[in-house]
Structure 1
């Protein structure tokens, strides 16, 4: 099949993915995310007390029994800060980065259209969300396999599953985290349409992620919690039950879909009326 027969939108999408994953910054962020569970595994492996002190992230004490929990701990640690940080960088750069480089007008001069460009930019940042979550899983799995035994995994419900099933649960957790970050990615896209300074859009997105989690931690604002995009982030642990508690997954997906619709509409309204040719 010739390249000319490929739809223009798909070609642009592949081009955006190529640009994203050819950047050293992208690979540096993915490597940093993968390093988090590796460092956790090394700390547990060579600590004289191991992970038996009862302190530290959730599931830390399970790593010595099953190395796959290094990936679980990595996701729990990275979800509140490191993953939103990297997603904020990528999403905040989507439109503002092109405007800052002066390439936005050329993209719009091609038969892409503003709406199609917005959708493709968002899909590209969504792919990065998945890559970021998988980087944590891959780093944790490799570190866990090298440093610790891989045996039967004990779930929160007390049931035990095989290493293959445990790895499948870990991939499900990565999928859950990816879904959790899609709303934040939409916020970053909207912020990116508001400025031609990518650092500003990145900072705004990351700050909003932090503010949402701070508000989510205040019991006095429990009426607000169901509306915060970070409310279900740490419910990823529900995938470590038997049977799997799918309710939190569905609630999280519905909430993120609402944020995608809201901020996607705001980004559309802003970008389609924005003068980028001046």
Structure 2
């Protein structure tokens, strides 16, 4: 029976709701889906709780250095891991196999006879895979938050500008960060549907979302112009860090959310067109062949070119976005906030950012060459003033900036300020907030204010 014959059948068609329920039952009947859902709701919380209690924390991960002091940090560390590894893998297993499974089992003709509408079959399978992916993402978020809060507590969280976020503010921003990664997750799910339809029973369809996610991650490691970086659908997996600055760096995140949703819609529409054009009477069907390029690769490549052009025309920066003045502004603001935190730790007289008048002078590569771009060769000298003291204080930082605008500032003295990872407080030794800190350079200067 062909798709045309199924559409023109006299018998009544199965409602989408019944088809969706049937597809959900089939998905959850698979042991690997049940195991993955269970793992998403239990394993992250256990891992976050255990790691938060360790003396050695994952300081190389964003917010990892704060896992022992705020329960919200563990969920954000988990979010960084999920965006790089877990979510691409989950979308591959669910969306990348939802159509190919029927090819391997040879059940398309039976399904068409039962449902009598290829359009409704596609809608039911796409919605079912989306529902399962959303359940998994919700489990990752809830489990990570619960594990961190129960193990450490819902204490305030230090943001990427050194500012201390209240418990309520931190909770809201963590939830927004998890919601923002739904857009690139949907883009990968749409690409998974396209690969599952286009490649048939081939196992390559299962790998398409993971391979695409890996390629996007490699691109983000390159010193690309800001316009190209924002036009790649996976950038929202890391752009959520702009939520944890004051003011929030919202423009890059919102731009990429729109781009990711456009990719999700385009990939799903292409999969729908390929599915309707398929001849279900061919029992030896093993992929769409040339149609993969015509209805898959070329349209998505065109979408990338268009989105890059639109972003380039609407943003003022075509370079890396990491310049001397933006690095200096970010480092000085973060230092001022963290200096006040250290002051409270040591029970010294309170001081405000206005009184400190902190500033930073940063150079790249010893002042040789262009003073912009990522690298581990940034060196910043921070100066500040204390009320009643004529001489300005100075501290040195070695700054490693990555192409996406994140950086780590490593203290290089003096010892009593930032040269040691502990400070001696009246309550005992405590982590020194000025020893190392993470920050975020604003790639789009128009987002300020």
Query: Is the aligned partner of 1:19 residue 2:26?
Result: yes
Give 1:167 deviation, angstroms.
Answer: 3.0
Q: Give yes or no for contact 2:177–2:240 (8 Å, CA) kept in 1.
A: yes
Give 1:223 deviation, angstroms.
Answer: 6.0
Report the structure, 1 or 2, having the larger helix content: 1
Deviates more, 1:102-111 or 1:64-73: 102-111
Match of 2:17 in 1: 10
Match of 2:388 in 1: none
Deviates more, 1:255-264 or 1:75-84: 255-264
Match of 1:93 in 2: 97
Report Cα offsets for 1:208-230 as digits up to 9, x if no partner.
21112112221157664333221
Question: What secondary structure is seen at the aligned counterpart in 2 of 1:151?
Answer: coil
Query: Is the aligned partner of 1:43 residue 2:51?
Result: yes
- 5 Å-filtered alignment, 1:118-197, equals 118-157=122-161, 158-162=163-167, 164-197=168-201
Deviates more, 1:143-152 or 1:238-247: 238-247
CA distance in structure 1 between the aligned counterparts of 2:245 and 2:37, rounded to whole angstroms: 29
Match of 2:113 in 1: 109
Number of corresponding residues: 267
CA distance in structure 1 between the aligned counterparts of 2:249 and 2:59, rounded to whole angstroms: 26
Report Cα offsets for 1:166-198 as digits up to 9, x if no partner.
333333222112222111111110110123326
Query: Is the aligned partner of 1:83 residue 2:87?
Result: yes
Give 1:76 deviation, angstroms.
Answer: 0.9
Report Cα offsets for 1:96-141 as digits up to 9, x if no partner.
1122122222222234522232233222222233222222222212
CA distance in structure 2 between the aligned counterparts of 1:120 and 1:242, rounded to whole angstroms: 43
CA distance in structure 1 between the aligned counterparts of 2:62 and 2:47, rounded to whole angstroms: 16
Deviates more, 1:229-238 or 1:212-221: 212-221
Change beyond 3 A, Cα 1:246–1:99: same
Stretches of structure 1 that go unaligned for 5 or more consecutive residues are 1-6
Q: Give yes or no for contact 1:114–1:272 (8 Å, CA) kept in 2.
A: yes
CA distance in structure 2 between the aligned counterparts of 1:242 and 1:113, rounded to whole angstroms: 52
Q: Give yes or no for contact 1:183–1:259 (8 Å, CA) kept in 2.
A: yes
Deviates more, 1:102-111 or 1:28-37: 28-37
Question: What secondary structure is seen at the aligned counterpart in 2 of 1:216?
Answer: helix
Q: TM-score, normalised by structure 1?
A: 0.84
User: With CA pairs under 8 Å and 6+ residues apart, which has the higher RCO, 1 or 2?
Assistant: 1
Decide which structure has the larger Cα Rg and report it. Answer: 2
CA distance in structure 2 between the aligned counterparts of 1:14 and 1:8, rounded to whole angstroms: 10
Q: TM-score, normalised by structure 2?
A: 0.54
Change beyond 3 A, Cα 1:242–1:154: same
Give 1:74 deviation, angstroms.
Answer: 0.5
CA distance in structure 1 between the aligned counterparts of 2:211 and 2:248, rounded to whole angstroms: 33
CA distance in structure 1 between the aligned counterparts of 2:244 and 2:262, rounded to whole angstroms: 26
Give 1:159 deviation, angstroms.
Answer: 4.4
CA distance in structure 2 between the aligned counterparts of 1:28 and 1:111, rounded to whole angstroms: 29
Give 1:45 deviation, angstroms.
Answer: 0.9
Q: Give yes or no for contact 2:230–2:252 (8 Å, CA) kept in 1.
A: no
Q: Give yes or no for contact 1:130–1:174 (8 Å, CA) kept in 2.
A: no
Report the structure, 1 or 2, having the larger strand content: 2
